[in-house]
Structure 1
Amino acid sequence: MEQDKHQAYWRANTALIRNLLIVWALVSIVFSILLVEPLNAVRLGGVPLGFWMAQQGSIFVFVALIFIYAVQMDKLDRKHDIDE
């Protein structure tokens, strides 16, 4: 029984990490590298969006992912009754 709880906790933990890494890869590789030319057709504050995503937008997303991970892990810990 305890082993099942432990496995469920780690399954949820790795799923969260996987999903956040997918977002990270999309932003850093797809939006900042592969789609930079089409995104440059759109301007954000006078700056091409592709350039902005590569220089600043991806950093904002990465910081947001850190906070999302912390909040979601706190919820997951409470759900599975894991204390620090």
Structure 2
Amino acid sequence: MKEENARAYWAANVRLIITYLVIWFVVSYGCGVLFVDALNHIHFFGFKLGFWFAQQGTIYTFLVLIVMYAYSMNKLDRKFDVHEE
């Protein structure tokens, strides 16, 4: 892998990680702590949405982010021709 291609790959990787970390932070801290009072006015499966995010929603979001990250990294690996297949 050429130096320029390696730098572009690493920059894309870091951008991807930062994007998913921001989403994780907004959902876990924002929905579970900061906006919990506003979200509690909405009901989701019989529970207040703020409570649901604080208890379960952040876990589900984290699991979805793991799957999305794996998919995105496989796509990025193919783009830069560093995939394992």
Q: TM-score range by the shorter chain?
A: over 0.9
Q: In the aligned structure 1, how far is the partner of 2:77 from the partner of 2:45? A: 41
- Please give the TM-score of this superposition, normalised by the length of structure 2: 0.95
Q: How does 1:3-82 map to 2 (within 5 A)?
A: 3-82=3-82
- Please give the TM-score of this superposition, normalised by the length of structure 1: 0.96
Quote the sequence identity (%): 46
Q: Deviation above 6 Å: which 4+ runs of structure 1?
A: none
Deviation at residue 45 of structure 1 after TM alignment: 1.4
Q: In the aligned structure 1, how far is the partner of 2:6 from the partner of 2:45? A: 48
Deviation at residue 83 of structure 1 after TM alignment: 3.3
2:74–2:83 contact (8 Å) kept in structure 1: no
CA RMSD of aligned residues (A): 1.1
Q: In the aligned structure 2, how far is the partner of 1:16 from the partner of 1:3? A: 20
User: For this pair of structures, how many residues does the alignment match?
Assistant: 84
Q: In the aligned structure 1, how far is the partner of 2:26 from the partner of 2:83? A: 33
Residue type matched to 1:13 in 2? N
Structure 2 gaps, min length 5: none
1:27-56 CA distance string (max 9 Å, x none): 011110000011001111111000000111
